[in-house]
Structure 1
């Protein structure tokens, strides 16, 4: 359990997830956006379930089934609840519902992503627009909540200055996802992508800053590393501090595979030109297709055409996507009305 405190805190926010970075960053990013608007204390709780019960339906899970290593999320008798509860992911759902139905003194319960379970029982659901979720308690945003802010990426760039400063411009951040229910990255496709990226960067005398996902297939990862290591830059091997935020901050262009709502939204929040790298579709008409079209239609990204001409419709950058901040403002308005 981690605490992020503000000396003049007036709100107590509990963030509840299974601790995986991509999941936790959604709830934490929303909590931090609230904290930027109003003094608050953020408590980070990581929860899990005993292996025998992990795959059980949420409706059947009981608190005693939690993994003993989990943080104590539900307060014991006599201990007050937080003011706001923000949770993300399937593992959090049974506990979020208990918080939402706890009676007097309970927290304002916010679930990010589509819970796909008793959605109307939560006080607020912050869901990606491409999920198509609707309801009186639903706020739809383009992409997912995240932790990207100008201050955070500037701090990260400074922390990695010794590695980044020598890299020639234009610097191209390359954010690679991997296999999912909707997309795949087979070896032949990875080869084509790597060669196209290498040729485009070489043509402008630039450099790459490459990070891969846990979902990147090993064969594709090996191909990308081998073919992009000959390009000036930095291919991060997953060792040491993660330079992901620094790559976004130092980039003149961002390349991101189209399989990740998180990475696409985070890249679009920087104001840099963002280019979508195609993946092999495993399922036609997926929600990621809807996200892709929304990002393109709003001028936030464009499909990668193998060039870096420095412009998006004549501009060197785009208007940063600020959906996390918008969601935080709406959350506080709903919270204030709920408390009134």
Structure 2
């Protein structure tokens, strides 16, 4: 899938297993590069046959890829991409194969902590809260993402008739769900919804709520029932996704503590970000480090039932990472 088609431009391949959360990290970084330099972006989605998926990365070979996977290497006579940006465990062996087979023609970027041969990629763009260091490591707050003012405005256009008339403050509520470190039981979700409703009603504002695919159905039902009377929109998962529109029209952003991506994306808007507490199922040191990092930058605060207002310089870590790639390419 090509985003642009200029053969004189920088050629960038974006590679992941196709899951939105994974793909958006690599694609967001590629789009940030494209805003700085003329670029052609090609999206590649790869997966391994079920029999080989659990193998260590060191044992995987291209013939083990699922027939539905996109070809990870150029066809005979085709050029290698200038930049390969990959995210996720499925891409790790392919990233190092590309670096080796291209003979250095392709600059290989891996986002997230690879946890495997970390020093062998040209650049690793890793969350600061992962705590990894090295000559090829660029630590950023949160993860790369696709949020930009143009993209938010573009996403808002289809929802302007519904969201623009809503009373201020408009509050975007971004709900995650069950993960290895967090849970959202029905009772906790109900209490959280009551607290959110109270804050919005006190401020005379409105609600723009979206759930994650990980949100438990019982939690979703409890929150929807308790927030249905609040002016605004609760997205039911059907039709176009209003996520970008919510961020565009929001005056305040509330995001559950289980999502590093949504917290960083919210902080990129320059709007107050409130972190909603969840039920911890195991120690979550990485999330604690991220939230502390965001607090240190004055971008986010724990939600205490009030909609406080403050200002800060929007987080722009994806562009910083893109500029680092350009500097290394030029060097």
CA distance in structure 1 between the partners assigned to 2:196 and 2:317 by the alignment: 29
Relative distance call for 1:76 and 1:99 in structure 2 (3 A) is: same
Match of 1:21 in 2: 20
Between Structure 1 and Structure 2, how many residues are aligned? 331
Superposition deviation, residue 323 in structure 1: 0.3
Structure 1 residue matching 2:2: 3-state secondary structure: strand
Residues 224 and 234, structure 2, Cα contact 8 Å, conserved in 1? yes
RMSD (Å), alpha carbons: 1.3
Q: Deviations over 1:151-176 (max 9, x none)?
A: 11112112211211221111000000
After superposition, residues 1-340 of structure 1 pair within 5 angstroms as 2-5=1-4, 7=6, 9-104=8-103, 106-309=105-308, 311-312=309-310, 317-337=311-331
Partner SS for 1:160: helix
How far the C-alpha of 1:223 sits from its partner, in A, is 0.9
Shift in Å, 1:285: 4.6
State the Cα distance separating 1:26 from its structure 2 match. 0.3
Check whether the contact 1:80–1:105 (CA below 8 A) recurs between aligned residues: no
Question: How far, CA to CA, are the matches of 1:318 and 1:9 in structure 2?
Answer: 39
Return the TM-score normalized by structure 2: 0.97
**C-alpha distance in 2 between matches for 1:9 and 1:301:** 42
Q: In the alignment, is the contact (CA less than 8 A) between 1:27 and 1:112 conserved in 2?
A: yes
Alpha-carbon displacement from aligned partner over 1:82-139 (angstroms, at most 9, x marks no partner):
0000000011111111011115353110000001111111100000000001100000
What SS does the corresponding residue of 1:126 show, helix, strand or coil?
strand
Runs (5+) with no aligned partner, structure 1: none
Q: Is the 8 A contact 1:6 1:39 kept in 2?
A: no
CA contact (8 A) 1:99 1:106 kept: no
| Distance in structure 1 (CA, Å) of the matches to 2:8 and 2:303 | 45
TM normalised by structure 1 equals 0.95
**Residues 181 and 284 of structure 2 are in contact (CA less than 8 Å); yes or no, is this contact kept in structure 1?**
no
CA contact (8 A) 2:80 2:102 kept: no
Distance 1:181 1:97, change over 3 A: same
- Is the 1:8–1:39 contact (alpha carbons within 8 Å) kept by the matching residues of 2? no
Structure 1 ranges of 4+ moved more than 3 A: 6-9
* Structure 1: distance between partners of 2:137 and 2:164: 43
Deviation string 1:230-279 (CA, Å, 9 cap, x unpaired) is 21111111111111000000001000011111000000000111111011
Structure 2, gaps ≥5 residues long: none
95-104 or 133-142: bigger deviation: 95-104
Cα pair 1:81 1:105 within 8 Å, conserved:
no
8 Å CA contact 2:185–2:219 kept in 1: the answer is yes
What SS is found at the alignment partner of 1:14?
strand
- 8 A Cα contact 2:26 2:86, kept in partner: yes
Structure 2 contact 109–121 (Cα < 8 Å) conserved: yes
Q: Tell me by how many angstroms 1:44 deviates.
A: 0.5
Deviations 1:46-98 (Å, cap 9, x if unpaired)?
A: 11111111222111111111111111121233322100000000111111110
Q: Distance in 2 between matches of 1:286 and 1:176?
A: 20
